[in-house]
Amino acid sequence: MTLMRSVILTVLVGICAAIAPAATAAEPPPPFVGAMSFQDIQGPEGPEEYSWEVKLDEEQELRRVDDRHAAVYYASGTRAFEIRGEVAHDASGSNVPTTLSVTQPNIITLTVHHRDGNPAAGGAAFDYPVSAGEGWTGSRQPVEIEGPPDEYQLAHPPTRREILEPPQPSPPPCVVPDLTGRTLRASRKMLHRAHCRLGQVRGERSRGARVAEQYRQAGKVLQVWTAVDVKALKVVQDIPTD
């Protein structure tokens, strides 16, 4: 009786194995279309390797150039195009090391080394999530807010971007120069040096014409690259007579 049960159990196991669906094959890597975007890595348990399939024409070969680059070559040895490995950064802006390798004849694999820790901070853990793109730590200086905050500052605290990115200096204004008697060519140069530009020219536009009137008062301070319209007249020199 025991032997019969064992035989029946073995048969049932075999039947179940026969009708069970086959294991799902690993999905092929997506095609490489010029970008190596990947989903944000949320923690140390997140993946480190991401692969893409490079479409190769006949007589083309995919080769590794160095730790950050690969390239497609023709059979003649001429390079068709280069592939640069994507960079990565963590939530605080620190750069996360990445390497690019050729893992199959037409497969490139980007490795994001987030589990090794930050080499610039003695191996300290990265601040997750880790995202694709260049970091910003060390390239910008934080803006220091001096003095106690007022009511507006308390109601409108600065955003992370405002803290990390200091405001850029405003461009110099347009200070209108005196163009009277100047040629159009000289006027254009003077206006450019004063961060203005030449606008509409009325009257004569010939080479010897000079500015007789300008429609922006000299010394007036305007927005950068404001146009200054002028009126030009051709100067006729008197011929001396005996």
Model pLDDT for residues 19-67, shown as the tens digit of each residue: 445 444 578 899 988 778 899 999 999 999 999 999 898 889 999 999 9
Asked if the model's pLDDT at residue 129 lies above 90, the reply is: yes
Nearest to 55 by CA among 72, 70, 41: 72
How far is 242 from 239, CA to CA, in rounded Å? Answer: 10
Question: What confidence category does residue 239 fall into, taking pLDDT thresholds of 50, 70 and 90?
Answer: very low
Per-residue pLDDT, averaged over 76-99, amounts to 91
Asked if the model's pLDDT at residue 109 lies above 90, the reply is: yes
Q: Tokens at residue 77, please?
A: 């040895």
Give the model's pLDDT for residue 17.
52
Please give the model's pTM, rounded to 2 decimal places.
0.49
Give the model's pLDDT for residue 167.
62
Give the model's pLDDT for residue 95.
93
Distant-in-sequence, close-in-space partners of 227: CB < 8 Å, separation ≥ 6: 196, 197, 198, 199, 200
Query: pLDDT tens-digit profile of 54-74?
Result: 989 888 999 999 999 999 999
Which helix H or strand E contains 190, and what residues bound it? helix 184-193
Q: Per the omega criterion (within 30 degrees of 0), is the bond before 169 cis?
A: no
Phi and psi at residue 3, to the nearest 5°:
-65, -40
Nearest to 160 by CA among 178, 142, 135, 183: 142
Q: Where are the domains of the chain?
A: 49-132, 174-234
What is the secondary structure of 150-169 as a DSSP string?
-HHHHHSPPPHHHHHSPPPP
Query: pLDDT tens-digit profile of 136-188?
Result: 765 444 444 455 566 666 666 666 555 555 566 667 888 899 999 999 999 99
Asked if the model's pLDDT at residue 242 lies above 80, the reply is: no
Helix count and strand count (H, E) for the chain: 4, 14
What's the chain's average pLDDT?
81
CATH 3.30.10.20 fits domain 174-234: yes
Give the model's pLDDT for residue 131.
93
How far is 242 from 237, CA to CA, in rounded Å? Answer: 16
Query: pLDDT tens-digit profile of 194-237?
Result: 899 999 999 998 888 999 999 999 888 888 889 999 999 987 65
